[in-house]
Amino acid sequence: MLKITRSVVDAVKIPVTVKTRLGWDENNKIIVTLAEQLQDCGIAALAIHGRTRSQMYKGDADWTLIGEVKNNPRMHIPIIGNGDVTTPERAKECFERYGVDAVMIGRGAIGRPWIFEEINYFFENGERKAPYPFGWQVDILKEHVLRSIEWIGDERKGIVHSRRHLAATPVFKGIADFRQTRIAMLRAEMLDELFGIIDGVVAEHENSQK
Ligand SMILES: Cc1cc2nc3c(=O)[nH]c(=O)nc-3n(C[C@H](O)[C@H](O)[C@H](O)COP(=O)(O)O)c2cc1C
Cβ distance 49 to 82 under 8 Å? yes
Q: Is 111 left (phi over 0), alpha (psi -120 to 50) or beta?
A: left
Q: Where are the domains of the chain?
A: 2-105, 134-209
**Is the shortest distance between the CB of 107 and ligand 1 below 6 Å?**
yes
**Is the shortest distance between the CB of 156 and ligand 1 below 6 Å?**
no
Smallest CA-to-CA distance from 48 within 27, 75, 8 is with 75
Q: Whose CA is nearest to atom 18 of ligand 1?
A: 106
**Is the shortest distance between the CB of 82 and ligand 1 below 6 Å?**
yes
**Ligand 1 centroid to residue 153 C-alpha, Å:** 24
| Fold annotation for 2-105 | TIM Barrel (3.20.20)
Tell me the C-alpha distance between 23 and 42, whole Å.
20
**Ligand 1 centroid to residue 106 C-alpha, Å:** 5
Q: What is the pLDDT along the chain (210 residues), one digit of tens a residue?
A: 999 999 999 999 999 999 999 999 999 999 999 999 999 999 999 999 999 999 999 999 999 999 999 999 999 999 999 999 999 999 999 999 999 999 999 999 999 999 999 999 999 999 999 999 999 999 999 999 999 999 999 999 999 999 999 999 999 998 888 999 999 999 999 999 999 999 999 998 888 877
SS3 179: helix
